[in-house]
Structure 1
Amino acid sequence: MTRSDWGDWLVRDVEETDPEGVSIWYLGCNGFILKGTGGTTIYIDPYVGLGDPPRTVRMIPVPFDPDDVEEADAVLVTHEHTDHVHGPSQAPILANTGATLYAPDDSVAVAREEEAWTDEWAVTDDQLTEVTEGDTIEVGEFTIHVEQASDPDATHPVSYVFEHEAGTFFHGGDTKPCEEFERIGDEYAIDLAALAFGTVGQILDKRTREPKRTRWYNDENQLIECAAALECERLLPSHWDMWKGLTADPTALHHHAQSFEYPQRLEIVEIGDRTDL
């Protein structure tokens, strides 16, 4: 695990911010921090690892050191892949703050069994909580609904809908278009949706280490298909910045979105940027 390229300014910025509604910081990859007006702070899929070079090569800075995090109420994980559930990135946050990890079963199994968080860090077993589709979690001022996701590369992916008096945020993890999204779009008034976007590239096969044509994230048309089904006001493309060979240009999405009613606006952010509900 490397040290942060940015020191501790990002986590200190989060701690010192008093949002009028909900502030959302993009951590690169598919990581986010949500902070509400009452101070509730939630990390989603935070990852500060370096990947597995030369197979997966990190293309962006490491924006914070998890040991510097002093305020967090929960860490949410969408699925079991390393860049979404990762002990060195997340266990120190739980150890420092007493926050609870909420994750689907296969992701909790990574924490409990494969990475032994309770042995390697000062994390207790009751901080690791399984969730599944249909569950509702109350964390401070946020009501969080666990919803469906469609990621054929994951064993049990979920998405999350965060409801707050200031608005509603959807985090899809690495989901691609999903039959349930029209229902989700009808059920919730989604103000902002974060969805994974990237290109198809040649990535070394995990077993053979030979180059293999790889699609891990939505292309332009799939991303707009998701956003249109969710009827989100604003679309925030994520994950496009992370892995060498799979990076993409999110500004190209303007052309793909312009003839659709939703999304009504693209929210293009870079690592470390903040947006608000």
Structure 2
Amino acid sequence: MTGRLRERRFNGSLAEQLAKPSGSAERLLWLGQAGFVVDIAGCRVVIDPYLSDSLAEKYRGTQYPHQRMMPPPIEPTGLIGVDYVLCTHAHTDHMDPGTLPGLFAANPSARLVAPRAVRSAALERSGLSEERILLVNAGETLDLAEGLRLVATRSAHETLEQDNSGNHRFLGFMLESPHVKIWHSGDTIPFDGLVEEVKAMQPDIALMPVNGRRPELSSRGVPGNLTLPEAVDLSSAIGAGTIVAHHYGLFDFNTIGPELIDSVARSTVFPRLLRAREAIALEWAAS
């Protein structure tokens, strides 16, 4: 496929941007952390929305209080026109009980896609019935709509983890339309076989975490992710022409500076490196 992801700054609120139907254009809007709205193939897909203060409430008074560095760009009920919500795993900043019920109340026909290994958490946190949840494992595909396919890939949020039935606890998701392939890696670090698994799908755009990992956090139960250089190298290895860096700027104990991402972007020829930003729409333009 040929094309280019271009940045368009918009005025006004994210809710105003989403008030219009998704249409046929492909675009990405950042929700903070690992969260995105993806308009693709006439559908609106939301990935890993964290739009509450659930973690601040959970960890109040602890060493890592999880206070937000940026406010939610939108209320959960302001996310409208949604067809599918994808949660890559069950950590609260990806499958949030403070976000999902309101989001689904505002979108009564939307369905949740989640790892089969975290079925119980998906049911409990979303408040949905079984009929509105689609459970997948790595290697499985779902036809979400005409011209829109999802492929689940493995992720290692420091390690590859499976339940007793062999279902992976951490996933990535490839969204494939006739015009563009977008891969959200989920929270992951490099692991054997990842490049081969994803390269075969020929992604155009890779959405990757760049907050890295540190032993002092991992030892206290805060798993890490790709470093920025690892994300750039991985994107190059899988052949994605553009990488969108995210999973930064929300919690002060587990982030990197945006100026570092911008500095690397200026010096990176391939892949093209963009930084997920507020008030920026990333739009896919066919060439």
What TM-score does the superposition give when structure 1 sets the normalisation length? Answer: 0.81
1:50-73 per-residue CA deviation (whole Å, 9 max, x = no partner) reads 223452222111111112333111
Task: Provide the residue aligned with 1:22 in structure 2.
Answer: 26
Map 1:1-277; keep pairs closer than 5 Å.
9-16=13-20, 21-36=25-40, 38=42, 40-50=43-53, 51=55, 52-53=59-60, 54=62, 55=64, 56-97=66-107, 98-113=109-124, 115=125, 117-118=126-127, 123-140=128-145, 141-152=147-158, 155=161, 156-200=169-213, 216-253=224-261, 262-263=270-271, 265-277=272-284
- Aligned counterparts of 2:118 and 2:280: Cα–Cα separation in 1: 27
Distance verdict in 2 for CA 1:261–1:63, change over 3 Å: closer
Task: Provide the residue aligned with 1:4 in structure 2.
Answer: none
Distance verdict in 2 for CA 1:231–1:84, change over 3 Å: same
Question: Letter of the aligned partner of 1:11 in structure 2?
Answer: A
Query: Which sections of structure 1, spanning at least 5 residues, go unmatched?
Result: 1-7, 206-210
Moved more, 148-157 or 24-33: 148-157
1:4-47 per-residue CA deviation (whole Å, 9 max, x = no partner) reads xxxx9313312316555311111110000111252x11100011
**What is the CA distance between 1:178 and its match in structure 2?**
2.7
- Aligned counterparts of 1:80 and 1:268: Cα–Cα separation in 2: 25
Query: Which sections of structure 2, spanning at least 5 residues, go unmatched?
Result: 1-11, 162-168
Paired residues, number = 257
Question: Letter of the aligned partner of 1:268 in structure 2?
Answer: R
1:87-108 per-residue CA deviation (whole Å, 9 max, x = no partner) reads 2211222233221111002433
* 1:224–1:256 Cα contact (<8 Å) kept: no
Distance verdict in 2 for CA 1:69–1:112, change over 3 Å: same
Question: Letter of the aligned partner of 2:114 in structure 1?
Answer: A
Question: Letter of the aligned partner of 1:65 in structure 2?
Answer: E
- Aligned counterparts of 2:198 and 2:117: Cα–Cα separation in 1: 26
What TM-score does the superposition give when structure 2 sets the normalisation length? Answer: 0.78
Distance verdict in 2 for CA 1:260–1:96, change over 3 Å: closer
Identity fraction in percent = 20
- Aligned counterparts of 1:26 and 1:142: Cα–Cα separation in 2: 20
Question: Letter of the aligned partner of 1:266 in structure 2?
Answer: L
- Aligned counterparts of 2:191 and 2:213: Cα–Cα separation in 1: 19
* 1:195–1:236 Cα contact (<8 Å) kept: yes
Question: Letter of the aligned partner of 2:48 in structure 1?
Answer: D
Question: Letter of the aligned partner of 1:142 in structure 2?
Answer: L
Task: Provide the residue aligned with 1:5 in structure 2.
Answer: none
**What is the CA distance between 1:179 and its match in structure 2?**
2.3
- Aligned counterparts of 2:80 and 2:48: Cα–Cα separation in 1: 17
1:184-210 per-residue CA deviation (whole Å, 9 max, x = no partner) reads 3431221111111115569789xxxxx
- Aligned counterparts of 2:28 and 2:174: Cα–Cα separation in 1: 14
Question: Letter of the aligned partner of 2:86 in structure 1?
Answer: L
Distance verdict in 2 for CA 1:21–1:184, change over 3 Å: farther
CA RMSD of aligned residues (A): 2.9
Q: Which has the higher contact order (CA 8 A, sep 6+)?
A: 2
- Aligned counterparts of 2:82 and 2:50: Cα–Cα separation in 1: 15
* 2:41–2:148 Cα contact (<8 Å) kept: no
Question: Letter of the aligned partner of 2:112 in structure 1?
Answer: L
